[in-house]
Amino acid sequence: MKRLELLGLEHIGEIRTGDLLGYLIVDACSRQGIELGDNDVLVIAQKIVSKAEGRIIDLKDIQPSERAKELARELDKEAALVEVILGESRSVIRTGGRALIVETQHGFICANAGVDQSNVGLKQVSLLPKDPDRSARALREEIHKRTGKSPAVIISDSFGRAWRLGTVDVAIGIAGMKAIKDERGKNDRYGYQLKAAVAAVADEIAAAAELVMGKREEVPVVLVRGFETEKREDGSAQELLRPQAEDLFR
């Protein structure tokens, strides 16, 4: 019988710039009587990674450009916030409602470049890690130093979707596993050769973990156990990005 477990790690505490987040995660596991294994997956909320890396901006320190002021009037947003979003973006894809749909410096297509005002303090915003894959690798290395184990690591964030309401957590950084399970060319139980069987397993794991994290539950890390990941030391969230030539929504 297949079984998938999602174990929320609680009481990690407020994260500050320079904290060794991997060590704090190991300590949280110890307090809850959890022994990490090489086949586990740790899903870590982007917000605490950004806090540990000092990716927090005080909007009072931002001088908005004329372009930011114009977009702010159009979208009914704070001009300083729009300036930060533009600074994190390669290009603006769409504007509408109160959102800027942009391509981030990482290549992600998302609302407001992942700049987030929640759970960071008034007049402050968090930015996505500069290199989420590198952040995931560093966390995995910290955990290995403390435990001798090398679980896969996913850094997750909430993204909207062009064709459905609501947000879903996705993987923005990955270490120690493949992001995609590709079964094209294999036969199903009836002998049909699969042609479109490409599953974004890292996104699926991130979305499942968010059910335990929630938005207000103070559970920023979830241990996923029982999922058979395909190990890959150079796994990357970049594997999940659709090439622009194949993007039907731009």
- Rg (the chain; Cα; Å): 19
- Kindly report, residue by residue over 88-99, the tens digit of the pLDDT: 999 999 998 888
Tell the CATH topology of 5-54+131-241.
Answer: 60s Ribosomal Protein L30; Chain: A; (3.30.1330)
Q: Is the pTM of this model over 0.85?
A: yes
Does residue 181 have a pLDDT over 70?
Answer: yes
Q: Give the C-alpha separation, 177 to 235, whole Å.
A: 5
Neighbouring-strand partners of residue 161: 164
Residue with the larger pLDDT of the pair 185 and 11:
11
Is domain 57-125 given the CATH code 3.40.50.300 in the classification?
no
What are the angstrom distances between the C-alpha of 93 and each of 111, 131, 147?
10, 22, 44
The more confidently predicted of residues 146 and 246 is 146
Q: What is the pLDDT of residue 192?
A: 76
Average pLDDT of the residues in 51-70: 96
**Domain limits, the chain:** 5-54+131-241, 57-125
For residues 111-132, average pLDDT: 92
Plot region of 128 (φ>0 → left; ψ -120 to 50 → alpha; else → beta): beta
Q: What is the pLDDT of residues 126-163, one digit of tens each?
A: 999 999 999 999 999 999 999 999 999 999 999 998 88
What are 69-86's pLDDT values in tens digits?
999 999 999 999 999 999
